[in-house]
Amino acid sequence: MVVEEQLYSDIPPTKLRNKEEKFKPAKTSRFWLWVASMFFFNMLQNRFFAFRYRGEETYFEAEKDVPTILFAPHCNWWDGIVLYNTTHRIFHKEIRLMVEELNRFPLLRRGGAYSVNKKSPQSAMKALKYSVDVVGDLRNMLCIFPQGIIRPPHFRPIEFQTGLAYIAENALKKYGKVNLIPMAVDYAFFRDNRPEVIVEFGKRIELRQGNEFANMSRKELTHYLEKALTETCDNQFKEMSQGDITKYKILFKQHLKWYRRIEQRLKSIDLPPVSGV
């Protein structure tokens, strides 16, 4: 009898291991960013039929000198690869991404990842403080999975740990303003035999000194951001369930396989009506 492994856990991996791990910052270079860009893009092209996205104007219409934090749900291994291609190929920024298992994949530091150890609040604080520092460098885009652990696809309710609100609050104090953008990510089969990546950016949330968001407590801000991401994901799912993907731009789309081209050709042939005997 085959016993299935446990796919999801409420306990972060570093807490389960209960092992002290040294904090490791991102360590990028032009060469390694070029390698990562080619490698991660080819990974998506090899596994997915298309990458569709919409709502990117919420970033491009903002003030250019304002730090930006992108936050998204985390349901599988591909999410980090999708975020990397989003920041590099849509927003033309270097990614800064908190990765809990970085000790297993140290080369990810070269692409912009940095470690977080959730063994204790003191250990995790190093990563949070580093996040506040790097978001101020406008060459970067900070990307966060605020749920803190991997959840199943379309998991509800979407609940955050307080790390994102901590980063936003302290970035506001340090830089005077910060933008947060919710990002829905889904993976779906439509009319091809390969799945597609579907990305939607929600409404920009602007934290400014003295505005309504700046006056929220950390708990209130966390709940507000949870609601913003939930609405973005639900809106995306509703449109996808109706087959409405015409509003999305295309980062890449594969050519149809030969047998799909034959199928399309056969569908275009007008057959004569069959007469009765």
Rounded Cα distance between 68 and 136, Å, is 8
Mean pLDDT of 25-45: 95
Mean pLDDT of 134-149: 96
pLDDT of residue 144: 97
Mean pLDDT of 231-248: 92
pLDDT of residue 263: 65
pLDDT of residue 277: 46
Q: CA torsion, points 68, 226, 72, 16, in degrees to nearest 10?
A: 120
Q: How many helices (H) and strands (E) does the chain have?
A: 8, 9
Mean pLDDT, the chain, integer? 90
Instruction: Return all residues near 122 (Cβ < 8 A) that are at least 6 apart.
Output: none
Judge if pTM exceeds 0.75: yes
Residues 86-95 pLDDT 10s: 999 999 999 9
Residues 190-203 pLDDT 10s: 888 899 999 999 99
Residues 90-135 pLDDT 10s: 999 999 999 998 888 899 999 999 999 888 888 889 999 999 999 9
The H or E element that residue 57 is part of is helix 57-60
Confidence of residue 175 (pLDDT cuts 50, 70, 90): very high
pLDDT of residue 274: 56
